[in-house]
Amino acid sequence: MVLASPNPFKIEKIRDDIELPIIDLSCDRSKSSKLILKACEEFGFFKVINHGVPQQIISLMEEETHEFFSKPGSEKQRAGPANPFGYGCKNIGLKGDMGEVEYLLLHSNPLFISQNLEFNSTHPNKFRVAVSGYVEAVKKLACEILDLITEGLQIQIQIQSSSGAGAAGGILSGLIRDVESDSLLRLNHYPPSDAPKIGFGEHTDPQILTLLRSNGVGGLQISLEDGVWVPVSPYPESAFCVNVGDVLQVMTNGRFLSVRHRAMVNSYKSRTSMAYFAAPPLEETITCLPGLATLDNPPLYRSFTWAEYKKATYMKRLGYSRLNLFKLQ
């Protein structure tokens, strides 16, 4: 299928829907681990089912998200402007990117949640309770997936976080469990539109791993080959869609792919999505995991702190290939 691009000078190719690998986390651990590794290498994306996040927690967060976006614009604006946290409408980031989307960007830190979220006027506590329950559950799932990844990569070393804040667990999940973890939650609402429009433009996620849920309405597209966009089916609705972020590409020395993706607006139905971005503490040094760089396969990227990478992210436009700034040679 060929679609007129929102940029009139560029014709875009769209392939048929892709079915990403669906990994059942209730299966045998070593089998799940192998399948996750394969998906991270081939697509940078996969779906997980039987993930252990209680439906009640998901439904509560979905209801509160819906309620928030149903409010009049003036009320939502009170939670903005997003700089970068808070309510944003059409403006994305700090460098002039725009999209057909409104969103709430929240830090996952319990202190941020307890101090900043009083959006539900009838039940002031409800939104906050929904966010903290959801964040806790998806964080647990992110850690589980990262532990399966380290088991698959056969990396057993425990991490001592450079923030010294007391990371526990595997070398990757410890970064997310760390009290100083810089993980975020993003709630998006894409109102429907007859014309094909870009809701959130093409980009890679800067963090370690992203866990995404949508309300069963399609819109996510990934770029697997240059210039060809592949829509991701929104099914099964119970699944989380997981993708590798830039930091995990660096830590695996390019073995895992942080793949460009975007969100298109649906022509008939409003789409909401909830993305959890699992990130290390700001002071954490990001470098290749032990054993993944060898004499034959030298490190592809120089080491940097997450704070340094985040700064580079906000200095550039959404679609900029910021990993290139850290490439060696």
Residues serving a catalytic function are 271
Residue with Cβ nearer ligand GA4 (123 or 311): 311
Angle at 313 between CA 287 and CA 75, to 5 degrees: 130
Shortest CB 171 distance to ligand GA4, Å = 22
Q: How does DSSP assign 131-161, residue by residue?
A: HHHHHHHHHHHHHHHHHHHHHHHT--PPP--
Shortest CB 276 distance to ligand GA4, Å = 10
Q: How many CA atoms lie within 13 A of 76 on its CB side?
A: 20
What is d(CA 161, CA 178) in angstroms, rounded to the nearest whole number?
8
Q: Which residue is nearest to ligand GA4 (CB)?
A: 93
Shortest CB 233 distance to ligand GA4, Å = 22
Interacting residue ranges for ligand GA4, rule: CB under 6 A:
84, 92-93, 95, 97, 105, 184, 186, 203, 205-206, 277, 313-314, 318
Residue with Cβ nearer ligand GA4 (92 or 176): 92
Residue with Cβ nearer ligand GA4 (44 or 152): 44
Long-range contacts (CB closer than 8 Å, 24 or more residues apart) made by 128-135:
129/60, 130/60, 130/61, 130/63, 130/64, 131/61, 131/64, 131/106, 131/185, 133/57, 133/60, 133/61, 134/57, 134/58, 134/60, 134/61, 134/185, 134/274, 135/108, 135/183, 135/185, 135/276
Residue with Cβ nearer ligand GA4 (148 or 247): 247
Helix, strand, coil percent values for the chain (each to nearest 5): 30, 25, 45
Residue with Cβ nearer ligand GA4 (34 or 310): 310
Shortest CB 62 distance to ligand GA4, Å = 19
Shortest CB 123 distance to ligand GA4, Å = 27
